[in-house]
Chain A
C-alpha cells in the first residue's frame, strides 16, 4: 500500500516555464488537497477536491490550476512559473476531513 505518491520529488524551473505535479493515492480517498509549505508560514492550501471531477480554490490559488479527472489522481499545474512559487509542495488525501490527512513526501520546486 503506497499511500500518497508525489512526482517529481525535485524540480528546477526557469521563470515562465510550465510544469505539472502529479499526486496519486491508492486508498480510494474522496478528498485531495495541494498545499505549499514555506519557512515560517506553515502549510497554505492551494486547491482541493472533494471528489472526482471537482476542484475548488484554497487560500493561495493564484498562478496554479488543478484537475481531478480520475479519483486517484490530483494534478497541480503551473502555467508560467515565477520565483515566488519556489516552495515545497505537498499533496494530501482523506476519506473525510474527520480522519486526518495522509500526506505525500513532497515536491521541492525551485524557480530561477
Chain B
C-alpha cells in the first residue's frame, strides 16, 4: 500500500531563514505528489503539485518542491520564511493515472520566530 512519511513533526525557523520540509513516499510507480498548507482553523490549501517532467516545481507563496525519484522524496523549500508561513504542511500522494483517493502524511507544524 502507498504511504507518505513526514519525519519532522515540528520545525522552528527564524524569520528570513531558509526552510526545507521533508516528505518521503512509498509506492511502486511515480505517483502524483502534492503539498498542502493548513493555517489554524482553516482547511487545507494546495501549494503545488508534481505530475511529470521538470523535477523542480514552483508553487504559490514562494514555495518550491523537488522530486527525487532515487530517494522517493518530494521536499518542500522556501528561500526566506515569513512570519505568515507559520502553519501546518501536509505532503500527499495519489497513484498516477486515476482518481484514487489521496494519502496524506501526518503533517509538519512550522513555527516562525522573529
Contacts of A105 in B (CB 8 A): 41-43
Q: B-side binding surface: helix, strand, loop or mixed?
A: loop
Residues on B with beta carbons closer than 8 Å to the beta carbon of A92: 43-44
Whether A42 pairs with B106 at a CB distance below 8 angstroms is yes
The residue on B at minimum CB distance from A35 is B104
Contact with B along A95-112 (1 / 0, CB 8 A): 011111111111000000
Residues of B81-99 contacting chain A, CB below 8 A:
90, 94, 96, 98-99
Q: How many interface residues does chain A have, given as a range?
A: 20 to 34
**B41-69, CB < 8 A from A:** 41-46, 49, 51
Q: Is the CB of A97 within 8 A of B106?
A: no
Q: Check A33–B42 contact: CB distance below 8 A.
A: no
Q: A33-B101, A42-B105, A42-B106 are in contact. Are A98 and B43 (CB under 8 A)?
A: no
Which residues does chain B contribute within 8 Å of A99, judged by CB atoms? 49
B43→A100 contact, CB < 8 A = no
Q: Which of A31, A58, A94, A104 contacts B43 (CB 8 A)?
A: A104
Shortest Cβ distance from B23 into chain A, in angstroms? 12
In the complex, whether A75 has a CB less than 8 A from a CB of chain B is no
> Within the assembled complex, what's the spacing in Å between the Cα atoms of A90 and B102?
14
Is the Cβ of B45 less than 8 Å from the Cβ of A103? yes
The reply to whether B90 and A106 form a contact with Cβ atoms under 8 Å apart is no
Q: Which of B9, B41, B42, B44 contacts A101 (CB 8 A)?
A: B44
Q: Can you list 13 A-B contacts with CB-CB less than 8 angstroms, sorted by A residue number?
A: A31-B99, A42-B105, A43-B44, A90-B44, A97-B94, A97-B98, A97-B101, A98-B96, A100-B34, A101-B44, A105-B42, A105-B43, A106-B42
